[in-house]
Amino acid sequence: MSAEPGSWIERAARTAEALVANLGSAPGRRVLLIGGESGSGKTSLARALVERLGGRRGCAVLSQDDWYHLGPRANEARRRADPSWRGLLELEIGGLGAAITAWCGGASQLTVPRFEGEQRTERPLDVSGTATLVVEGTFVLALPVDGLRILLTEDWRATEVGRLARGRDPMDPQSAEVLAAESTLVQAQRSRADVWVDADGRLEWASQGG
C-alpha cells in the first residue's frame, strides 16, 4: 500500500537528502531526471530537491506535463478514441529535450509551454544563476540528454491509494488501462536509471551492482 499523504513529504525529504549527499560538489550545471509511474512521488521529490539545492534561485524545475500536445480534456478524449495514443506519442518530448539542451548550453531563460484550461500558451522561465535543473515526469528517462537518472519504482497499483487521496485518476476501466500501458513503458526504462528509489525512499545505485 502507498504511503499516507502526510508521509509523502517526509519520504521525499529523506530521499532528496540522500541524493544530494551523493551528488558531490563538482562545478558546472547538472541535470537530475526523475521518472516513475503516476502517483509515485515525482513532483514531491522534485520540490524536496529544490529546497535542498538553493531554492528556485539555485535550482530550476521542468515538468513533462507542460509538454503535452493537447489540453487535458482533449488528450483524455483522444486516449479514449485511439488506444494507441499513449506515452511518448502524447508528448512534445523533443521540445522538452531542446529546453534541457538550451539550459545545459548556458541559457539564462527558457520558453516553457503551459495550458490554461485547454488553451496552450507560453511563459518565460528565468534560469539565470541556476546550477541544477530538475526534470520530472513519467517518461523523462527516455530523453537523450546527459544527467543523473532517478527512477521511482512503485507501480500504479501500489500508488492507487495515494492517487485517489489526491483526487487523481479515478479508477474506471479506461484509466486502469492507461496506467497499465504507462507502467509497461516506464518499467522498460529501468535499465536506463542510475539510481532506483523504492516505496520507502531507499536508494539503490546502479554503480553498486543494482
The predicted-structure confidence for 137-176, as pLDDT tens digits, reads as follows: 999 999 999 999 999 999 877 776 665 665 555 567 777 8
Grid cell listed for 13: 525529504
d(CA 209, CA 111): 39
* Beta-carbon contacts of residue 116 (< 8 Å; ≥ 6 apart): none
pLDDT tens for residues 75-127? 989 988 998 898 899 999 999 999 999 999 999 999 999 999 999 999 999 99
pLDDT tens for residues 109-122? 999 999 999 999 99
Quote the pTM value.
0.88
**What are the residues facing 135 on neighbouring strands?**
33, 62
Place of cell 507560453: 122
pLDDT at res. 173: 78
Whether residue 5 is predicted with pLDDT greater than 50 in this model: the reply is: no
Report the CATH number that the domain containing residue 59 is assigned in CATH.
3.40.50.300
| Pairing of the two strands 119-126 and 109-116 | antiparallel
- Structural domains counted in the chain: 1
| Structural domain for 26, as ranges | 5-208
pLDDT at res. 27: 67
Determine the 3-state secondary structure of 64 from DSSP. helix
